[in-house]
Amino acid sequence: MNKIRAALSGIHGWVPEYKLTNQELEKMVDTTDEWILARTGIKTRHILKGKEQGTSVIGTEAVKGLLEKTGTKPEEVDMLICATVTPDMLFPATANIISHNCGITNAFSFDMNAACSGLLYALVTASKFIESGTHKKVVVVGADKMSSIVDYTDRTTCIIFGDGGGAFLLEPTTEDVGIMDSIMHTNGSGMTHLHQKAGGSRKPPTHETIDAREHYVYQEGQAVFKFAVTNMADVAVAIMKKNGLGPDDISWLVPHQANMRIIDATARRMGIAKEQVMINIERYGNTTSGTLPLCVWEWENKLHKGDNIVLAAFGGGFTWGSIWLKWAYDPK
């Protein structure tokens, strides 16, 4: 019998309506549209407004849309993983809230925290449950409400991040499509350069931590940039080499959308043209776990069965990795 693989059989994305422009940021911090565009490639990012609106709002919209467009009944889903660094609450898992909101009652669900590589970690984990034959319909959500942990007085971070996300459906197939291979990495020493100082068990919230603005993203941009640009390109090239894939074999690169310069460097190292790279950073900024599904969602109608796609990401942790997959269906 042919090997069982995990096919990505559906994708749906969602972003909130409100658009935060570079022009608006110019009024909030000492920055310019020119600087932001030149250094990051970002023009706008979407922000989830309103009281008590957490990441589950994004995840719920994405999953509801996914179930509807794939004709999947909520009770058929047997597992749901939500990749996020901005859970609604420290517990319970945002995955459980999304499942509840969507009427998914026969699944076990949990969150995965691997920052900007979260979606890759979640896809790889989900694929193992499918490949083992124990699970048949798995939903993988990547969603973040980064505006909830961004300091809008810090010009070095507030220009980068946005809110949004998307959800994939994974199903078993014995055809030659689906998740073919992956390479995943972690290096915990990266914590120094990118983290949130307070709010966890090491430094629970106090008046002092709030006054010191320690509940926001802390990033040493240049240091992270150096790690990201090298490792994301290396791991994308590594998965090609490992599987004997040349630039001509690759239909699409789906890169994490952190910085246009990192995306360009990765494509250059892989030897592929810019036309083969999914890029929407200019409209959404860095939505952390949301960037990869938002790209695939927007490019879905251009994808054909058998297309070789490389997903690559680098993020806080440090975490990084790449997935080689063969797309499972033609445009509908």
User: Would you tell me which residues interact with ligand UT7 (CB under 6 A)?
Assistant: 31, 35, 39-40, 116, 155-156, 159, 221-222, 224-225, 228, 258-259, 262, 286, 314-316
Tokens 């409209």: give the residue.
283
Spatial CA neighbour of 53 closest among 86, 13, 27, 75: 86
Tokens of residue 216, six digits: 């926001």
CA distances from 196 to 173, 275, 316 (A): 40, 36, 10
State the pairing for strand pair 44-47/18-21. antiparallel
* E strand map for the chain: 5-14, 18-21, 44-47, 79-83, 108-112, 138-145, 163-173, 178-186, 194-196, 217-219, 252-255, 308-315, 319-326
Q: What is the DSSP string of 176-235?
A: S-EEEEEEEEE-GGGGGGEEE-SSSSSS---HHHHHTTTTSEEE-HHHHHHHHHHHHHHH
CB of 239 to ligand UT7, least distance (A): 19
Tokens 């993983």: give the residue.
81
Spatial CA neighbour of 120 closest among 307, 313, 308, 317: 313
Q: Any idea which residues carry the catalytic annotation?
A: 116, 256, 286
